[in-house]
A = this chain, B = another copy of it.
């Protein structure tokens, strides 16, 4: 007695039945969105879903397991499944690759390499990269343009041992970020964003007005257990915005 994929409705609609596990997922996350189910509420057990939707337990299990992975519900063996507290930890903002972002807006991305030298870590840079004095580093300064308008100043320090060819790369074609993510699998990234007033050199390179503040992002990346790169990404406050949208639907 096999279900033939059109069991639920039974009437018209021969086009394409939605999978059973998705039907169950939707029925629950819709109830959450409508407010019928609130955080802490108990939801039907797998056995009850088996009876109500006429599916096997594996199918009900898959629906609930995916809802748990999405953070919609929490489950506990022996007790049951319950609606989760709503995203207790705040929202997320997306940080993109500057070149992709510019191109996606339909503009041309251009980069001017101000410097790209190999040097030995002094007191300051050794602290930044958590290495000992004299460690070989690359130090690059690049200005990124959107249609000839400078929108990002990138100053970056990279461990020479992890990226020996960094000094020879042509960063007018692909960003250091693109190069580094390709040669070294990134294990961890840390971002910090703050608003400051630029120093004289930054003001010149980004052609800023005298009173214009900048949005400065500090990005550190780890690979194979080591901190491999430290970058300051500086944007004119007037010509750049970090932005992101987050929709609950993504979780269902």
Contact = CB atoms under 8 A, between A and B. Distances in A.
Given A194-B215, A213-B195, A247 B188 contact: yes
A124 interface: no
A138 to B, nearest CB: 21
A181 interface: yes
- Assembly of this chain: how many copies? 2
A97 B86 contact: no
A189 B32 CA distance: 17
A60 B248 CA distance: 30
A204 to B, nearest CB: 18
Contacts of A192: 241-243
A94 B242 CA distance: 12
A194 B236 CA distance: 9
A191 B249 contact: no
Contact of A248 (B87, B187, B213, B243): B187
Given A66-B69, A92-B93, A93-B94, 5 more contacts: A89-B94, A91-B189, A185-B248, A188-B245, A195-B215
Interface of A: 32-35, 58, 66, 69, 86-87, 89-97, 100, 181, 185-197, 211-215, 235, 237-238, 240-249
Give 10 nearest A-B pairs by CB, closest first.
A213-B213, A195-B237, A195-B195, A195-B215, A90-B96, A193-B242, A92-B92, A93-B93, A192-B243, A90-B95
